[in-house]
Structure 1
Amino acid sequence: MDLGIAGRTALIVGGSGLIGRAVAAALIRERVRVVLAARTADRLTEAAGALGAKVGTLTLDTRDANSVTPAIEELIAAEGAIDIVVNAAAPPASTLDPAKDQDPGQVLDAFDAKAVGYLRVIDAVLPYMRRTGFGRIINISGQNAFLTRSVTGAVRNAAVIVASKALADSVAGTGITINVVNPGPVTATPTPAPGPAGPGDSTPEQVAALVTFLASAQAAAISGESIAVGHRVHGVQ
């Protein structure tokens, strides 16, 4: 299937991470020009080299609007376009301290790093996408949004889903779509039978396959949706 995005430019924020790299590889196969963004230049250089293709890199910190906005303006000036944005820059769930799950400081920090960080990127790219009449924004959230056992995880991921829906509605009819992908645990070796009351595993490539389709021309009628990757079992709605 021709996804109709050859020649487009994609910015993958969190491009040095596991999901970001897989998405980059999938988009490169569709002949998309890929730019990886992350906080650490060394990790970006390593990720770009591992992809074995010519990709751009951009250093930015999504927790700081004064880092995000100038970096994206610089990218648009250099590349001439940002057609696709994948937001995948957030600390993994494994880095959250379970002992501080209800601690307001941890919850606020996680909320800012993920949900508000994504909003900073979107706020910077939307004016350009509105002018061109085309845009695909895919936000990586997580199935913890639907699990009551994690306050921090639920708050930061649910916020991404709700904000994305509101934003998608606000740009309806402009040629811009905004969707959310919700993975469970992402691993190279998924567990074939997930346990009760938990999210199912998926590979980075499985997550990337969905992201790539949502970035396609064929997905023009899909916006404001929140889609899970990984079999969802009892307790995960």
Structure 2
Amino acid sequence: MRTLRSLALALFLLLSFHPQVLASEEDSQRDNASASEPPTQQLPSPTKLEAKAVRVIDGTTVEVSLSDGRRETVRFLQVHVPTGRSCTPKAVDLVKRMVLGKTVQLELDHPKRDGNGRLLAYVYVNGKSVQQALLNEGLAKVAPRPADGKYVDQYRVFEDHAKALEKGIWASSACKNEDRAKGSAEGKETGNNDHNPNNTLKQSKSGNSGGRLPKTGTQHPAHALIGAGILLIGLFIYRRTA
């Protein structure tokens, strides 16, 4: 009887504790996922305007062609790319890859234009936010104005995520580490031939197979052969007369 009671008590405790273990594991998985994946922004509803991006002016400004043929300059709302930093070209490249030659969706806000007459918009392509991409990669900052923009809270989350990962402008050397790593990788691919263009290929340890023979000591091998022949003839005549 004592054995049965002990088994029953152990089974009861196991069943009571099991759901708590599962819940703890699920919470841990959710925390890990949120830490490794960038947040996402809800899509605009409804989209106000569609246009084709025909030119990228800078990291936050593009020129678009509307359906009626009019051209408009569009300034990205709520973000700005710091000028004079090594990350600025990367921001321009990212925007070009995302929008150039493609149909973009423009979500307008109030006011619709800035002091230079440019349209102010949240820009999307294929359902992806261009502002979010810039912030997630650490290539832009949340603009201080307008302080009450509809997505400002979400944009600050994207910005904080890039800060935590020290990406782009938030890195200690602001994109320079990435440039240096890229240059190092390209150098490894091309090898040392660029530094020693006249050198022959290195020979393998087992012999000369797989590479060219090293250069001879003279640039006129025919002269060397003639000289060797004359020397052999002289030795032959000397032995005959000796």
Query: Shorter-normalised TM-score: what interval?
Result: under 0.3
- Tell me the TM-score normalised to structure 1 length: 0.23
Q: What TM-score comes out, normalization by structure 2 length?
A: 0.23
Tell me which of the two structures has the higher relative contact order, counting C-alpha pairs closer than 8 angstroms and 6 or more residues apart. Answer: 1
Question: Considering only CA atoms, is the larger Rg found in Structure 1 or Structure 2?
Answer: 2
